[in-house]
Structure 1
Amino acid sequence: MTVPVGTRPLTAGDPLAGLLDGPRARGAFLIRACFDPPWAVRVEDRAPLTAMLLVRGEAWIVPEAGERVRLGPGDLAIARGPAPYTCADDPATEPQALILPGGECACPDGRALNGSMDLGVRAWGHRADGATVLLIGTCRMRTDVDTRLLDALPPLLSLTDAEWRCPLTPLLMEEIARDEPGQEVVLDRLLDLLLVAALRAWFARPGTDAPDWYRALADPVVGRVLRLLQDDPARPWTVASLAAEAGVSRAALARRFTELVGEPPMTWLTRLRLARAADRLRSGDDTLAAIARQVGYGSAFSLSSAFKREYGVSPQEYRDRAPASTGN
């Protein structure tokens, strides 16, 4: 049964849902890394977001700047690119391999490894039953829809097993080794679930400096408006129509929205529409006129003008540059 938008429950305990419902992993890179100490891998793939879930053993994540993080079984770390970092059994261990953009792997001196560490379906390292097993999921492309989320995260965050208690590990271990039709889609969705569970736990952790949009999504008035816009940005919204949906006056909505989100509702909607347009330009081949209709613009010309003001390039130039945006 479809629930009307206006009657959807607004749960203060899960304000990430509205933001994370739009962007989804597509063609994510998932692998089971298996090592015996000493081991170290330097990651220079410039990926926007990488989740590392330790199944067995011990690992350290050492960023270029900032504090290093130790992982025990069940612990998880999320690295926000494009800054490089090192995964190792010990911070002092010298890297034995480099991970480069596009999933390429090389020796520290630049020589290609040529698959010498492949261990079968989505498995890589020394041996399949190594002392350390690390599940790694990498989002290869930064879509503009999730820019607010990525910018709110530190370069490296971590959660202990006790802090996030996610039951996905056994399922990921099982699915990551399968090679069946549609398996990439299954793994993409599992990575989505992993990230939502982890980020929700991290933002809810005491002492975390949650961003404005997180708190705003939990507000009974502004949160409802944000969800309405997120669910249907193409609708011809006005401040008056949004205020009517939220049950407040136009002035009250404008004031409360700007106070909590940091910008007026129509400005936020414009940026959302253009972000959705940018996502479609990168990920598909729809015409500009079709994209304009999908995101709430009356014509390709009006979308093109607004897009160039926001991004500094035309939609076509942006689309032409799309392959280069992967991992940035």
Structure 2
Amino acid sequence: MDTLANLLDGVRARGAVFTRTVMSPQWSLRFASGAQLTLVIAVNGRIWVTPAGNEPVLVDSGDIVVVRGPAPYTVAEDPAAPPHQVITSADYCARTARAVAGGGPAPDPRTCGVGEAGAAFLISGAYEGRAGISDRLLDALPDVLVVPERDSDRTLLALATEELRRDKPGQQAVLDRLLDLLLVSTLRAWFDRPQNHAPAWYRTTDDSVVASALRLMHDHPAHPWTVATLAAKVGSSRSGLARRFTRHVGEPPMTYLGTWRVALAADLLRDTDATVSSIARKVGYSNTFALSVAFKRCRGITPTQHRAAARRTRELNT
């Protein structure tokens, strides 16, 4: 049972903004692209990442950071320094492009800024638009997560660093796939660290009954499951399944199924134009009202409010 693989199955970078940014001393950048997830690697020198409304996070050279959006965040040499540039999805390298147009030196491909001896630089890759990232995955992540250099995949990072310097046919497709691989590798490394308390759906279980029940709920969320029907399918008693499932997953089967269904509905509301009624039926609720009750219980807002908020966010960042 590999829920992380299921959650990442639809995640595909398409035309990802993948850049190498060279920094002058006392630099500070505010990223406001609206990306759902952004990977940032401090290739040379320490950086501070400050998410909106939260404390700055120190990132050592070589560490990989994943920043959860769509709220803006700041990446800086000094967290106290005010941002000297705001970067949007349409303006990643605008300043560099203007400098080149005015007769300045041309940087390497996909590079913002001009290289200087000893200059700090970072690599960033952003998932923007409808990248297929599940709300269930996003809900399990903090605003900023850091994977130390020793736990990261240095081979993938070396490939990405080298590819960024090239300008060849098919390069965007290569960079998109490298970003996908870096994301999977980084999330896996972060979840594997005991202090990060990985969610129940990530942790493996040696209980075949519980694993089978999880697989059934994930593969057929719209089925009218009860603890009794699940128990019958996996060859267990009702009370035995409830007890074992709660012990291994941390919550009862029907509670888990309810939050799973709501997360699936949240993704469909954000990424499709399907009606709330059709989404309700697709994820296992008989009508709009039933989904709305469950959605508000889990998230504090209605499905319609969730969809409206997602649309506002997209409009603000396009």
Instruction: Quickly name the TM-score band, shorter chain normalised.
Output: 0.7 to 0.9
Structure 1 window deviating more from structure 2 (15-24 vs 195-204): it is 15-24
Of the candidates 287, 302, 305, which is equivalent to residue 303 of structure 1? 287
CA–CA distance in structure 1, aligned partners of residues 280 and 71 of structure 2: 34
Alignment coverage as a number of residue pairs: 301
Of the candidates 60, 63, 68, which is equivalent to residue 47 of structure 2? 60
CA–CA distance in structure 2, aligned partners of residues 240 and 179 of structure 1: 58
Task: Identify if the C-alpha distance between structure 1 residues 172 and 325 changes in structure 2 by more than 3 Å, giving closer, same or farther.
Answer: same
Superposed CA deviations along residues 83-103 of structure 1, whole A, max 9, x for unmatched, are 654323455665331124x55
Task: Identify if the C-alpha distance between structure 1 residues 320 and 32 changes in structure 2 by more than 3 Å, giving closer, same or farther.
Answer: same
Of the candidates 49, 58, 61, which is equivalent to residue 72 of structure 1? 61
Superposed CA deviations along residues 132-190 of structure 1, whole A, max 9, x for unmatched, are 44221223369997344333333322222221224322443466566867946x65544
Shift in Å at residue 198 of structure 1?
A: 1.0
Structure 2 gaps, min length 5? 101-105
Contact 1:63 1:84 in 2 (8 A): no
TM-score (norm 2): 0.73
Sequence identity, in percent? 39
- Tell me the residue number matched to 1:242: 230
Shift in Å at residue 283 of structure 1?
A: 1.7
CA–CA distance in structure 1, aligned partners of residues 47 and 80 of structure 2: 10
CA–CA distance in structure 1, aligned partners of residues 303 and 130 of structure 2: 17
CA–CA distance in structure 2, aligned partners of residues 178 and 238 of structure 1: 55
Contact 1:282 1:322 in 2 (8 A): yes
Residue 13 (structure 2) pairs with residue 31 (structure 1): no
Residue 231 (structure 2) pairs with residue 267 (structure 1): no
RMSD: 4.0
Contact 1:277 1:291 in 2 (8 A): yes
Residue 99 (structure 2) pairs with residue 99 (structure 1): no
Which amino acid in structure 1 is aligned with residue 150 of structure 2? A
Contact 2:31 2:73 in 1 (8 A): yes
CA–CA distance in structure 2, aligned partners of residues 210 and 319 of structure 1: 28
TM-score (norm 1): 0.71
Contact 1:145 1:272 in 2 (8 A): no
Task: Identify if the C-alpha distance between structure 1 residues 207 and 103 changes in structure 2 by more than 3 Å, giving closer, same or farther.
Answer: same
Task: Identify if the C-alpha distance between structure 1 residues 145 and 31 changes in structure 2 by more than 3 Å, giving closer, same or farther.
Answer: closer
3-state SS of paired residue (2:47): strand
Which amino acid in structure 2 is aligned with residue 303 of structure 1? N
Contact 1:33 1:123 in 2 (8 A): yes
- Tell me the residue number matched to 1:165: 153
Structure 1 gaps, min length 5? 1-9, 107-111
Structure 1 window deviating more from structure 2 (269-278 vs 140-149): it is 140-149
CA–CA distance in structure 1, aligned partners of residues 250 and 55 of structure 2: 28
Superposed CA deviations along residues 239-289 of structure 1, whole A, max 9, x for unmatched, are 234224433222111123234434332232233233323322322234556
- Map 1:104-143 to 2 at 5 A: 104=91, 116=98, 123-127=110-114, 131-140=119-128
Contact 1:254 1:264 in 2 (8 A): yes
Which amino acid in structure 1 is aligned with residue 291 of structure 2? F
Contact 1:61 1:85 in 2 (8 A): no
Contact 2:12 2:132 in 1 (8 A): no
CA–CA distance in structure 1, aligned partners of residues 214 and 200 of structure 2: 12
Contact 2:135 2:266 in 1 (8 A): no
Structure 1 window deviating more from structure 2 (317-326 vs 191-200): it is 317-326
Residue 264 (structure 2) pairs with residue 282 (structure 1): no
3-state SS of paired residue (2:39): strand
Residue 316 (structure 2) pairs with residue 322 (structure 1): no
Of the candidates 170, 180, 195, which is equivalent to residue 192 of structure 1? 180
3-state SS of paired residue (1:50): strand
- Tell me the residue number matched to 1:210: 198
Task: Identify if the C-alpha distance between structure 1 residues 262 and 181 changes in structure 2 by more than 3 Å, giving closer, same or farther.
Answer: same
CA–CA distance in structure 2, aligned partners of residues 320 and 133 of structure 1: 37
- Map 1:145-160 to 2 at 5 A: 146-160=134-148
Which amino acid in structure 1 is aligned with residue 244 of structure 2? R
CA–CA distance in structure 2, aligned partners of residues 135 and 214 of structure 1: 28
3-state SS of paired residue (1:273): helix
Contact 2:13 2:179 in 1 (8 A): no
